[in-house]
Amino acid sequence: MQDTARLVLSLLDLTSLDDTDTDEDIQRLCRRANTKGGHPAAVCVLTHLVAQARTALANLDLQDTVRVATVVNFPEGDQSADEVVDQIRAALTSGADEIDLVFPYRALMSGDERLGYHLVSRCRQASSGHVLKVILETGELKSSELIRTAAEIALAAGADFLKTSTGKVAVNATPEAAAVMMETIRDSGRPVGFKAAGGIRTTEQAAVYLDLGREILGEQWLRPERFRFGASGLLDDLLQRLGSGVRPVDLRSRY
């Protein structure tokens, strides 16, 4: 299980998306990314805290190792395209590397397929040169048919990753939804990534998604450029499996 934990750690987007997050919380999150067992792929924070995350990682000498991701149209997925594009531009100006965009899933549930395509296309243009992950909110879509439709729309509009969930609804990542998303990626013939997010707290739970990835997409997908986990509590379990902890770096003099 140590090998699995080490792999999952390298695929992790270490996440904190609470409305109450402060600068100190983000500094703490970034310090958690500085582990003896390796580093996560990214930290994921709210848009107005991107600059703080970028500074904290630089002070840890992790600015070239750990990416900064943020969320837009979050968490409801119901903002206008102009509003979301403005959020993306602000995030990129602050130093974001990756954008996690909530798909307008309620519009799709009401029968509107055009809105999702329009929004993802606009956001693809606004985030050109940066990774765009599209959050389908599969626990709300529920049916395999709607999940597949949302995935196909996001792929057609230029998504780099398909992501399961915001982590803010009753049902988040499930293996069943993940399988539908991975099959849609496979059938597209494009090198699009997959991200499982919400409710994944143990190495064993993460391993279920790795096994699905191997079966549906292939071993070559299990790298940060193609496969991610979005979680916060998962890190503690990974480090316990690895017998590691956070590096004891005293940063008080740097802030």
- Residues pairing with 12 in the sheet: 229
Binning pLDDT at 50, 70 and 90, where does residue 248 land? low
- Asked about 100 being catalytic, the answer comes back as yes
Judge whether residue 252 has pLDDT over 90.
Answer: no
Measured distance CA(233)–CA(23) in Å, rounded: 19
Structural domain includes residue 250: no
- What is the DSSP-derived secondary structure letter of residue 140? H
Report yes or no: 40 and 33 within 8 Å, Cβ to Cβ: yes
Judge whether residue 38 has pLDDT over 60.
Answer: yes
Binning pLDDT at 50, 70 and 90, where does residue 245 land? confident
Structural domain includes residue 217: yes
159-178 average pLDDT score: 98
25-42 average pLDDT score: 96
Binning pLDDT at 50, 70 and 90, where does residue 130 land? very high
Structural domain includes residue 254: no
Report yes or no: 14 and 232 within 8 Å, Cβ to Cβ: yes
Measured distance CA(165)–CA(16) in Å, rounded: 14
Structural domain includes residue 29: yes
Structural domain includes residue 75: yes
Query: Which residue in the list 100, 133, 160, 237 is annotated as catalytic?
Result: 100
Measured distance CA(95)–CA(84) in Å, rounded: 17
Structural domain includes residue 251: no
Report yes or no: 178 and 194 within 8 Å, Cβ to Cβ: yes
32-57 average pLDDT score: 97
Structural domain includes residue 175: yes
Judge whether residue 52 has pLDDT over 60.
Answer: yes
- Angle, vertex CA 70, rays to CA 11 and CA 243, nearest 5: 35
Structural domain includes residue 249: no
Judge whether residue 195 has pLDDT over 70.
Answer: yes
Judge whether residue 251 has pLDDT over 80.
Answer: no
106-118 average pLDDT score: 98
Judge whether residue 63 has pLDDT over 60.
Answer: yes
- Asked about 195 being catalytic, the answer comes back as yes
Measured distance CA(206)–CA(59) in Å, rounded: 30
Query: Which residue in the list 13, 160, 195, 237 is annotated as catalytic?
Result: 195
Measured distance CA(96)–CA(92) in Å, rounded: 5
The pLDDT value recorded for residue 81 is: 98
pLDDT, tens digit, for every residue of 202-219? Answer: 999 999 999 999 999 999
What is the count of structural domains for the chain?
A: 1
Own/partner pairs for 210-219, CB < 8 Å, 24+ apart?
A: 210/4, 210/7, 210/8, 212/175, 212/178, 212/179, 212/182, 213/182, 216/179, 216/182, 216/183, 216/186, 217/182, 217/185, 217/186
- Asked about 163 being catalytic, the answer comes back as yes
**pTM, full prediction:** 0.95
Tell me which residue range forms the domain holding 119.
Answer: 2-244
Residues 6+ apart with CB under 8 A from 50: 68, 70, 91, 94, 95, 96
Report yes or no: 72 and 102 within 8 Å, Cβ to Cβ: yes
Query: Which residue in the list 13, 133, 160, 163 is annotated as catalytic?
Result: 163
The pLDDT value recorded for residue 178 is: 98
Could you tell me the CATH number of the domain that includes residue 28? 3.20.20.70
Residues in the chain: 255
**Average pLDDT, rounded, for the chain:** 95
The pLDDT value recorded for residue 2 is: 94
* Range from 50-54, 80-84, 242-246 carrying the lowest mean pLDDT: 242-246
